[in-house]
Structure 1
Amino acid sequence: MTKKMIDLSVPMDNRLKEPFPPKIKYDSHANGAKQAAGLLGLKASDFPNNEAWATETVTLTTHTGTHIDAPWHYASTAAGKPARTIDQLPIEWFYGDGVLFDFSDKHPGYEIQTQDLTDQLEEMNYELKPLDIVLIRTDTDQYIYTDEYLASQPGMSADATRWLIEQGIKVMGIDGWGWDIPLALQAENYKQNPREGVLWAAHFVGKEAEYCQIEKLANLDQLPTQHGFKVAAFPIKITGASAGWVRPVAIIE
């Protein structure tokens, strides 16, 4: 049986328009020859064409590029217990049946509600089960190299996030910069009427129960179906970290 794989990540690229873009310094093969010569007591000319290894030096945060947020990112505790970091989570969470919800028709700032999810589940004749991996399509990934990236997405509400956790979902992801609606819209709403449940509301559901979110997914428009595929999204193991970089892949039989 043949398998088709779809890359669901954005590239790590100096051109990314986000608050914490990577800084990638590219070292040439010629510099590699100089480095190797210095380490080994040789001359750069001892290597063919004065060239050896190419290397890159990358400076970034654990939330740069496509990554998975651990419970520790949301708060110091989850459900009254110390929140776990990315290296402490069960690896079984990160491989499972994928379920795609399509909100690419919603306007920037639209807050996705539980009813939106249940309506689509009814349309696709599917019932969520524990450890399904939920993907939220907004098509915001098309803006990753533009200034519109941070403000162009619908986002998840706290209630919808809570409902997904109640269905046994541990890993959920979105192809926007963040899981909630854009931060600027949250701040504007709060300034007009300061109250709880506005700032980072969906993230803060992680205080109540453990869950992980994948942010900055891509290519969800390439999935040919809303379920019936697998998702592999294993995060890099970084000791004590609030997130880990990931290259999620959809696997279609």
Structure 2
Amino acid sequence: MRLIDLTVPTVDGPSEATPVEVSLLDHASAPAALGLRPEDFPDGESISNETVTLTTHTGTHMDAPLHYGLRSGGQRAAAIDEIPLEWCYAPGVRLDLRHIPPGAAISVADIEDALAKIPHELVPGDIPLIWTGADRLWGTEAYRTDHPGMTREPTAYLVERGARVIGIDAWGFDRPFASMVGDYRRDGDNSVLWPAHLYGREKPYCQLEKLAHLEELPAATGFTVACFPAKLAGLGAGWTRVVAIVPEPNTEEP
């Protein structure tokens, strides 16, 4: 098999809306922090440590139903540590939506067209990966603003066909903040504010945000997605190392 990393690095920079702060206890300073001397360790170096301050939505991460609201599907919304492991290891389906312009809303017709072109009929448990191509902007401020986004209807379309986890290779799952808020301030219609997220109050599902390298997948199907989030008790999201597992033919001579 071949493993393809579908995550961005967790690092401070212009593509993150909030800072990532790292406090380093290096090998040379560590002995004193432990109440010992450098000469107590080989080469005068102890073991290092880092303290990292960041949000649960920094880097590639999974949003749990609790992120969308306190209740989902009429029940208490699940936190990230309560997500069934079965949801996080399942066949992936890459949906090519790179033609959708930045700021635009992805529609049900767009999803249906992408599925028809593969072709693929969704199976319950499939993990659809929305391929916008926005990860090419990673490392720039434009990454946070220049991408299309999902709305309620296409999200419902996927969830009602059995998707429990849906991923996107953009800063957020919905349209960019400025696009949504601009429409709301112009028209006064609050249904344009995070409609895909808020659909999660109707039926539980999880989002993977800030995916990357979907172009490295050899095909739109035929791979498995592993996306187990950090077990952060009672929280609405967790950092996730997302990996595509691609089987490769056995080329060894019999």
Partner residue, 1:91: 85
Residue 172 of structure 1 pairs with residue 182 of structure 2: no
State how many pairs are aligned: 247
SS of residue in 2 equivalent to 1:30: coil
Partner residue, 1:13: 11
SS of residue in 1 equivalent to 2:189: coil
Partner residue, 1:250: 244
Calculate the TM-score normalised by the size of structure 1.
0.94
Which runs of no fewer than 5 residues in structure 2 stay unpaired?
248-254
4+ residue segments displaced more than 3 Å: none
Partner residue, 2:53: 59
Which runs of no fewer than 5 residues in structure 1 stay unpaired?
none
Residue 101 of structure 1 pairs with residue 99 of structure 2: no
Partner residue, 1:115: 109
Calculate the TM-score normalised by the size of structure 2.
0.94
Quote the Cα distance in structure 2 between the aligned partners of 1:32 and 1:223: 42
The equivalent position to 1:29 in structure 2, one of 23, 27, 30, is 27
Quote the Cα distance in structure 2 between the aligned partners of 1:16 and 1:24: 16
Question: Would you say the 8 A contact 1:13–1:24 is kept in 2?
Answer: no
Partner residue, 2:250: none
Residue 79 of structure 1 pairs with residue 38 of structure 2: no
- The sequence identity of aligned pairs, in percent, is 44
Quote the Cα distance in structure 2 between the aligned partners of 1:30 and 1:225: 48
Residue 137 of structure 1 pairs with residue 138 of structure 2: no
Quote the Cα distance in structure 2 between the aligned partners of 1:112 and 1:222: 23
Question: Would you say the 8 A contact 1:109–1:182 is kept in 2?
Answer: yes
Q: How far is the alpha carbon of 1:16 from its aligned partner?
A: 4.9
Which digits, 9 at most, give the CA deviation of each residue in 1:203-246, with x for residues without a partner? 11011100000011111111111001000001111111101110
Backbone CA RMSD of aligned residues: 1.2
Residue 231 of structure 1 pairs with residue 229 of structure 2: no
User: What amino acid is the match of 1:25?
Assistant: S
Residue 218 of structure 1 pairs with residue 212 of structure 2: yes
Quote the Cα distance in structure 1 between the aligned partners of 2:190 and 2:146: 24
Question: Would you say the 8 A contact 2:81–2:234 is kept in 1?
Answer: yes
SS of residue in 2 equivalent to 1:186: helix
